[in-house]
Every structure is written in structure tokens, then in C-alpha cells.
Structure 1
Amino acid sequence: MGEMIKIRAFDEDALFNAYVAKPAGKTKAAMIVIPEIFGVNEGIRQKCDKWADAGYLAVAIDLFWRFAPGVELDPDIEEQLNEAFGYFQRYDANDGVKDIEAAIHAIRRGEVGADSVENVGCVGYCLGGRLAYMAAARTDISASVGYYGVMIDTMLDESHAIANPLMLHIPTADHFVGPEAQAAIHAGLDSHPKVVLHDYQGLDHGFAAEMGNRRDEAGAQLADSRTVAFFAEHLG
């Protein structure tokens, strides 16, 4: 359904790749899909296609374009999983916020779809879940959703800057985000007027992946239904 395009980097003389899926009819709003550490792979493209089917202009950005452009990895293959961990260690999440900012600007200027789109949301997974939180705190993104975001507990001092709605999906058995980190996230964000947290008892990291061994069908459908309703409320 979609195609690869180039987006001009924010405050850099460079272009980076993004996968874009456009709705067949009228565009409701735009959705930036922020990948896990596995690149804009088939699962992420499928998520974009689903958002396009629902009427959103969907854009998935290539996070690792500065040192591994175009990489697509499968988390169920150990060698590729380890490769992804290596990229994660090299990655500066501050660059990710710049790339989200660049995508927001490109969408609102009409450089991605046929027309400019003012209401722009983002939904991210794993590393992308962290970036969704950071985007909520550092950009004027209209609304954000993060699935099993890593290291959010280390950035709670930025929560005061969250001005637009944010939803986080937290699997309680996440082996990358342990009980202490989850408790810190709840302590720091439960009372925030713009933040909604959902726990998923017994589920692990990656439970909402479109495909592969990590997916939990019931958990994914529940979380995704909440995400759809959240964006329908806040983006239109």
C-alpha cells in the first residue's frame, strides 16, 4: 500500500527515509509510527497500512539512518536480535526526537501527503515507546501513545512539559522494564492530568508486535483498541 519517501532532517543537511501509507479517502489526521530497534520492517509497515485503512496518513521513520540506513531486522532470529541491540547501544534518542520533529513539520507543510495535516499523533514501540514519551515532553505533537517504552523511568523529570495527551501501555512482565521501573513510572505519572497508563498483567515486552513469537493476540487487540479510541478522541 505504501511507499518510501525522503524527509529533510531537522537542523541537519540530510534526508532520511520514511515509509508512508496514505488513506484511500479523506484524511482524518496523521500518525507517525516510531519503530522498535528492528527498523521499518514488515511489521511496522503493516501498522502503517492499518492506520491508513482507518483514515490516517501514516509515516514510519527510519531511526537508524545515520549509521544503518534502511535496516530491517527480525526479532525472532537471534543473530538479527543481537544486531538490533548493537544499534540501540549506538543510538542517541535525542536524534530521534529531532527526526520526529522533522516528520511533524513535513506533514504540516504538506510535504508527505497531498495536503498539509495539522493534527499529528505518534505511536511508538520499545525504543519508539520511549521516543513517544520524549516527543510528548519536547514537541508539540498533538497526542502520543507508547507501547512498552524503555528507560522512561529515567526521564520522569521531563513530565512537567507534557502539554498534550499521552497514553502508555505497560506489560507487567516486561523483562526490559522491571517492577521498580514500572513502579517509578506509575508514581511519576499516575497523577498527571494529560497521561493515561494501562497495565497488562503477565504480558511481556513486544506483546503488540504485528507478527512473530512475541505477540499476544488478546493483549495486542485490547491495547490497540484503546489506542484507536484514544486517537479518535484527541485527533479526530
Structure 2
Amino acid sequence: MQIIQETKDLTTPTGTMRCYIYRPNATGRFPAIIFYSEIFQHTAPIGRSAATMASHGFVVVVPEVFHELNPIGTVLGYDDAGKEKGNNDKWQKPLADHDQDTKALVNYCQQADYCTGNVGAMGVCLGGHLAYRAALHPDVKAAFCLYATDIHSHALPAPEQEQSLTRMNEIQGEVFFVWGKQDPHVPQEGRLAIYQQCLSTGINYQWLEVNAVHAFMRDEGERYDGALALQMYQQAVAFFQRLLFAV
């Protein structure tokens, strides 16, 4: 499908959150996917990923994940300076504030006149964690989480009882985890801790480990694996079609 792009500013308890909307250029209503970026925010690779998903019949909403810490429209570079700033932002923003953002995003997706009201979440790196975190919201039916960082380590700002792994039992929808076996950010012991929690909580999940390094979806730089990325888009499209197009 051909798509159109636009921006939408949402009000959150911590300020205005700029969102980038990718949606089919067609009449009717479509399921929504909240697409959470990595620490660099709405970069060109993130935009292309969102456009790819939207072209399969979804409204894709990309929020600025650190909107309260940067001027609207801030995009960090894939360099040392961008990495340092993005990581500093990650350590500053409490998970509770991300939860408030997700609440605003879900409300928008349920009220927009081009959305059906069915909502999923998808993300890469930090965004993979935030997509998983979004699944704690009872109205998020599906989460596709690509190499989600910091779930296993309890490293993001929150009390222990509010950490994402601790709260897994609250998830009501289905979660699809994708991991790179050569990803140093989520080593084998970290993946094992998450897998064991999946088993102990009994959530509805899928699990896929591939031979890849961190950020293999990002179509800039030497980490990119185009063949694997294509497979993941196909997996994600099938996953969301099954869970979000259902009546």
C-alpha cells in the first residue's frame, strides 16, 4: 500500500510528545502499531522501518521517546556523541514516565478516526524494551520486541517492584521476542533470565534467537543484516495481522 506521513503532538504529564505517523493512503480504519525507537529517536532508519510496516496496512506511530529531555524534533547521530547523549537520557527517564507516554499513545490510537482501536507495539533496542513494557497496558494486544535491552538487568530507573521483568505476569496480550545470539547487550545469561520468567509466569509468547549482532535491523552501518531484517519484517507483519486484524 502507498502511505502518507504526518506529525501529531500528544500531551503527556511530562510535556508535549511529538509523534510521527505513517499510515495507509486509503479510506477506512486500520490497526495501530506504536513503534518505539532506539535511544537516537526518530532517525532515518527508524522512519524506513515504520514506513515498511505501515505499507502492510497499519497505522504506525513513532513517538519521541525522550521528548521531555530534548527540544521537539531532536534526532541523535549514530556516533559517540549521539550514543552518550542517548544513554544519558535513558538513565534519566523513569519507566513510570514511559508508561504515561504509552497511555497517551494508546488513547490516541483508540480515538483516531483512521484506527480500528486495536493496538500493538514494536521496537528495537531500548524500543524493544518499551514495546515489551507497553504490553503491560491491558489494551495492547501484541508486542514485537527486537533485541530489547535492560529488561534482564533491571537497569532503567524504577523501584525493584516496578521493573519490567518483575511485572511480566501482568501481560495479557502476546509477546514476540527476537534476540541476536552475538548481541553483547543481552548476553546468554540475560536471555535465559527472561526466558525463565516467561515460563514461570505463563504468558503467551514466542521466542526467536538468530545469529546476529546488536542493531542488525538498522539499515545504516556495518551491523545491518538485510536478509535477517527482511525475515523479521515478515514475521512482524504476520504476527500483527493475526492479532490486530481479528474482530
> What is the aligned-residue identity percentage?
24
RMSD: 1.8
2:172 to 163, 168, 171: 163
Aligned equivalents of 1:88 and 1:52: distance in 2? 27
Q: In structure 2, what is the equivalent of residue 28 of structure 1?
A: 30
Deviations 1:174-194 (A, max 9, x none): 111112101111222146341
Q: Which runs of 5+ in 1 are unaligned?
A: none
Q: Which runs of 5+ in 2 are unaligned?
A: 155-163
Aligned equivalents of 1:117 and 1:74: distance in 2? 35
Q: Does 1:198 align with 2:208?
A: yes
The letter for the 2-side match of 1:219 is L
Deviations 1:122-141 (A, max 9, x none): 10111111111111124421
Aligned equivalents of 1:235 and 1:121: distance in 2? 7
Q: In structure 1, what is the equivalent of residue 67 of structure 2?
A: 65
1:13: Cα distance to partner?
A: 7.1
1:74 to 54, 77, 96: 77
The answer to whether the 8 A contact 2:22-2:50 is kept is yes
Aligned equivalents of 1:8 and 1:116: distance in 2? 19
Aligned equivalents of 1:223 and 1:135: distance in 2? 20
Equivalent position SS for 1:8: strand
Q: In structure 2, what is the equivalent of residue 52 of structure 1?
A: 54
Go from structure 1 to structure 2 and tell me whether the alpha carbon gap of 1:82 and 1:219 turns closer, same or farther (over 3 Å shift).
same
Q: In structure 2, what is the equivalent of residue 119 of structure 1?
A: 118
Matched length:
229
Give the alignment of 1:75-224 within 5 angstroms.
75=78, 77-110=79-112, 114-153=113-152, 154=154, 155-190=164-199, 192-201=202-211, 203-224=212-233
Aligned equivalents of 2:147 and 2:14: distance in 1? 32
TM-score, normalisation: structure 1:
0.90
Detail structure 1 runs of 4+ shifted over 4 Å in the superposition. Answer: none
Equivalent position SS for 1:142: strand
Equivalent position SS for 2:149: coil
The answer to whether the 8 A contact 1:47-1:210 is kept is no
Q: Which moved more, 1:120-129 or 1:134-143?
A: 134-143
Identify the structure with the greater strand proportion: 2
The letter for the 1-side match of 2:21 is V
TM-score, normalisation: structure 2:
0.86
